[in-house]
Structure 1
Amino acid sequence: MKLVVVSAGLSVPSSTRLLADRLAAAVERQAPVDVQVVELRTLAVEIAHNFTNGFPGRALAAALEAVTEADGLVVVTPVFSASYSGLFKSFFDVLDKDALEGKPVLIAATGGSARHSLVLDHALRPLFSYLRAVVAPTGVYAASEDWGAEGLPERIERAAGELALLMSAGAPRQPGGSVAGAAGSVALPVGAVPEPARSVAAGSGAKAADSGFRVIPFEEQLAALRG
């Protein structure tokens, strides 16, 4: 399996790249993956030119192809103005709109304060849900004080394990082949047959109706994969 890591760190060395490397190493410990890193800092000029002339340069084209063909992604951005960086967003703006459909994605971010941790659920998760990716339930945020402190290694391992399971499940990438990519839901494994379920309409005296499908909780998916 091919894992592509997208890092939007700007400085050298970069805490964003450090978190990206730790997440990739954690996924490698849990699944056989080939890791490729896409460093957006080196692609900034080509991304800007792509907006003005409509054509990617050679390095940017190779990065876009790697992301499109990946079996899973780790995406990490620094927090700017309480959201992802402009460089990070620009890269995914020039990516084909269908490239991430059904693709497992682990979201992560770095920032100077723990107050920005909500960027995962208020910015990154909506972005990749809109792109129809399958977002791993656990995101990883690392503030300055988290490095070397308790908690961060455990969050990294948990998120990496979820991504490894999603990649191993071979999430289908056809339209309609996945459950909505919000937290707590994953794509149905290939060959899975939806089970009938009963749903009750709102309001007094409403009768149960056969919906024909059952949303499978993430915990059941993990148990089935481990079994």
Structure 2
Amino acid sequence: MTTVVAITAGLSETSSTRLLTDRLVESLGRQTGDVSVEIVALRELAHDVVDATLTGFASPRLQDALDKVAAADGLIVATPIYKASYPGLFKSFFDVMETDAVIGKPVLLAATAGTARHSLAIEHTLRPLFAYMQALVVPTGVFASTHDWGAEGAQALEQRIDRATAELASLLKGAGTGRSRDDEFDLFSETFRSIAEGPRA
């Protein structure tokens, strides 16, 4: 079975970031029935992440989360945006991760914020980070501000969610089938091209 880890970086116990993560997971489940998703909440690992940053050693609990990310076929990554960027906890988690943990791995990026002023944060902060880590980031990022949870923005948000998870599901089709890294990049190129061209007449 294809495995996906959903990393959610909301700092409060109940957050719009976790809500968006859950919506993405539900949508992915509708896109493909043959997927197992595990959620990693960084809030629960905050002290472990700080300790690993200072000592260079991961606690068993943090190491288990890092191992799950490295073993997953794909990732959903959701973070809140503060002052035009992701919080330190989010960055620190990826700082303590092995540098090759997500090479060639399909990744869906999502972010939440209180205002649409942060709507480009996925493009200017998240996407460069995962490009550096050599992940296969799906074309559609999912951003949700306070407006998107209301009646006026809900439909557009749902469309973005479904589009992004469809792109992730397309890339995951090749996961766990013995494809080489070159094959995965070819699959990504084909997926991106088909999305850009739109449905055939």
Name the TM-score, length of structure 1 as normaliser. Answer: 0.79
Among 175, 186, 189, the alignment partner of 1:188 is 186
Superposition deviation, residue 189 in structure 1: 3.4
Report the RMSD for the aligned CA atoms in angstroms.
2.2
Q: Retained in 1: the 8 A contact 2:167–2:191?
A: no
Q: Give the match's secondary structure for 2:187.
A: coil
CA distance in 2, matches of 1:141, 1:221: 19
Q: Identity across aligned pairs (percent)?
A: 48
Q: Does 1:55 align with 2:47?
A: no
Q: Give the match's secondary structure for 2:143.
A: strand
Q: Retained in 2: the 8 A contact 1:7–1:77?
A: yes
Among 106, 115, 118, the alignment partner of 1:116 is 118
Name the TM-score, length of structure 2 as normaliser. Answer: 0.88
Superposition deviation, residue 216 in structure 1: 5.2
Q: Retained in 2: the 8 A contact 1:102–1:173?
A: no
User: Residues 29-48 of structure 1: matches in 2 within 5 Å?
Assistant: 29-31=30-32, 32-48=34-50
Counterpart of 1:12, as a letter, is E
CA distance in 1, matches of 2:194, 2:47: 45
Counterpart of 1:5, as a letter, is A
CA distance in 2, matches of 1:7, 1:221: 26
Q: Does 1:167 align with 2:168?
A: no
User: Residues 81-120 of structure 1: matches in 2 within 5 Å?
Assistant: 81-120=83-122
Cross-structure match for 2:6: 5
CA distance in 1, matches of 2:8, 2:170: 22
Q: Retained in 2: the 8 A contact 1:98–1:131?
A: yes
Counterpart of 2:12, as a letter, is S
Q: Retained in 2: the 8 A contact 1:101–1:173?
A: no
Aligned residues: 191
Structure with max Cα Rg: 1
The structure richer in helix per residue is: 2
Cross-structure match for 1:219: 193
Counterpart of 2:9, as a letter, is A
Runs of 5+ unmatched residues, structure 1: 179-185, 191-214
Counterpart of 2:125, as a letter, is A
Cross-structure match for 2:24: 23
Q: Does 1:144 align with 2:146?
A: yes
CA distance in 2, matches of 1:220, 1:21: 27
CA distance in 2, matches of 1:27, 1:216: 20
Greater length-normalized contact order (CA 8 Å, ≥ 6 residues apart): 2
Seen in structure 2, the aligned counterparts of structure 1 residues 7 and 219 have a Cα distance that, compared at 3 Å, is same
CA distance in 2, matches of 1:96, 1:121: 23
CA distance in 2, matches of 1:107, 1:129: 12
CA distance in 1, matches of 2:93, 2:38: 16
Seen in structure 2, the aligned counterparts of structure 1 residues 187 and 222 have a Cα distance that, compared at 3 Å, is farther
CA distance in 2, matches of 1:79, 1:163: 22
Runs of 5+ unmatched residues, structure 2: none
Counterpart of 2:126, as a letter, is L
> Residue deviations 1:76-118, cap 9 Å, x none?
0000120111111110111100000000000000000011010
Cross-structure match for 1:199: none
Q: Give the match's secondary structure for 1:151.
A: helix
